[in-house]
Structure 1
Amino acid sequence: MKNLRFFLVFLFCVPFIGISQTKFKLQNNKKSDKVRFKLINNLVVIPVQINGVDLSFILDTGVSKPIVFSFLNEKDTFKINNTEAFILRGLGEGDAFEALKSRNNVFKIGEAVNLNQEIYAIHDASLNFTPQLGVPIHGIIGFDIFKDFVVEINYGRRFIKLHHPNEYVYKACESCETVNFEFYNNKPYINAQVKLNDTYVPVKLLVDSGGSDSMWIFEDENLGLYENENYFLDFLGNGLSGSVYGKRAKIQELKIRSFTLKQVNVSYPDSSAIHFAKRLKIRNGSVSGNVLKRFNMIVDYRNARLTLKKNRFYKDEFSYNKSGIELEHHGELLVVDDDNSTSNAFSDTTINLDLELKPSYNFEFKPAYTIVELRENSPAQQAGLLVGDIVLSVNNRRAHDYKIHEIIRLFYAKEGDDIRIKVTRNGVIKSYSFQLKAPLK
Structure 2
Amino acid sequence: MKKGFLLIILSFSLFNFSFSQDIFFIQNKKKSDKIKFKLINNLIVIPVEINGVTLSFLLDTGVTKPIIFNFLNVSDTLRIRNTEKIFLRGLGEGESVETLKSENNVVKIGDAIKLNQDLYAIYDTNLNFAPRLGFPVHGIIGYDLFKDLVVEINYSNRFIRLSEPYLYTYKSCNKCERLNLEFYKNKPYINGEVNIDKKDISVKLLIDSGGSDALWLFEDDSLGIKSSNKYFNDFLGHGLSGSVYGKRSKVKTFSLKSFSLKNANVAFPDSVYVSHAKKFKNRSGSVAGNILKRFNVIIDYKRAIITLNKNRYFNDKFKYNKSGIEIAHSGFRFVKEKDNNVTNSYGVSTKTDATSLAVNNRYKISLKPTYVIVELRKNSPAEKAGLRKGDIILSINNKSSYQFKLNQMIQMFYGNKGDRIKLRIERNYNIIDFKKILTFEFKLEDVFN
- After TM superposition, the score normalised by the length of structure 1 is 0.90
* Deviation string, structure 1 residues 312-331 (Cα, Å, up to 9, x no partner): 00000011111111001011
Question: Gaps spanning 5+ residues in structure 2: where?
Answer: 1-18, 342-358, 429-434
Given the alignment, which residue of 406, 430, 434 partners 2:438? Answer: 430
Moved over 4 A (4+): none
Alignment match, 2:178: 178
CA distance in 2, matches of 1:440, 1:118: 46
CA distance in 2, matches of 1:176, 1:317: 21
Given the alignment, which residue of 394, 397, 410 partners 1:395? Answer: 397
Amino acid of the structure 1 residue aligned with 2:76: D
Alignment match, 1:361: 363
Alignment match, 1:347: none
Alignment match, 1:4: none
Contact residue 42 and residue 293 of structure 2 kept, 8 A: yes
Alignment match, 1:79: 79
Which SS does the other structure have where 1:80 is aligned? coil
CA distance in 1, matches of 2:198, 2:443: 33
Which SS does the other structure have where 1:70 is aligned? coil
CA distance in 2, matches of 1:179, 1:436: 39
Alignment match, 1:67: 67
Contact residue 213 and residue 288 of structure 1 kept, 8 A: yes
Contact residue 104 and residue 115 of structure 1 kept, 8 A: yes
Contact residue 44 and residue 59 of structure 1 kept, 8 A: yes
Alignment match, 2:247: 247
Which SS does the other structure have where 1:268 is aligned? strand
Alignment match, 1:354: none
Which SS does the other structure have where 1:299 is aligned? strand
The answer to whether structure 1 residue 404 and structure 2 residue 382 are counterparts is: no
- Report the CA distance between 1:340 and its aligned residue: 7.5
Contact residue 320 and residue 439 of structure 1 kept, 8 A: no
Which SS does the other structure have where 1:71 is aligned? coil
Contact residue 228 and residue 250 of structure 2 kept, 8 A: no
CA distance in 2, matches of 1:159, 1:279: 34
The answer to whether structure 1 residue 129 and structure 2 residue 137 are counterparts is: no
Given the alignment, which residue of 376, 386, 403 partners 1:384? Answer: 386
CA RMSD of aligned residues (A): 1.5
Contact residue 88 and residue 99 of structure 1 kept, 8 A: yes
1:4-403 → structure 2 map (5 Å cutoff): 22-339=22-339, 358=360, 360-403=362-405
Contact residue 196 and residue 228 of structure 2 kept, 8 A: no
* Deviation string, structure 1 residues 200-256 (Cα, Å, up to 9, x no partner): 000100000000000100000000000251110001111111111000000111110
Question: Gaps spanning 5+ residues in structure 1: where?
Answer: 1-18, 342-356
- Report the CA distance between 1:289 and its aligned residue: 0.2
- Report the CA distance between 1:424 and its aligned residue: 0.7
CA distance in 1, matches of 2:309, 2:20: 30
Alignment match, 2:16: none
Amino acid of the structure 2 residue aligned with 1:297: V
Contact residue 232 and residue 440 of structure 1 kept, 8 A: no
Larger mean Cα displacement after TM superposition, 299-308 or 326-335: 326-335
The alignment-based identity, stated in percent, is: 56
Change (3 A) 1:240 1:72: same
- Report the CA distance between 1:163 and its aligned residue: 1.1
CA distance in 2, matches of 1:242, 1:319: 25
The answer to whether structure 1 residue 418 and structure 2 residue 426 are counterparts is: no
Alignment match, 2:432: none
Contact residue 37 and residue 47 of structure 1 kept, 8 A: yes
Larger mean Cα displacement after TM superposition, 261-270 or 413-422: 413-422
CA distance in 2, matches of 1:375, 1:218: 21
CA distance in 2, matches of 1:296, 1:63: 21
CA distance in 2, matches of 1:136, 1:227: 35
Alignment match, 1:351: none
- After TM superposition, the score normalised by the length of structure 2 is 0.89
Alignment match, 1:345: none
Larger mean Cα displacement after TM superposition, 25-34 or 132-141: 25-34
- Report the CA distance between 1:31 and its aligned residue: 2.0
- Report the CA distance between 1:362 and its aligned residue: 1.1
- Report the CA distance between 1:21 and its aligned residue: 7.7
- Report the CA distance between 1:339 and its aligned residue: 2.9
Aligned residue-pair number: 408
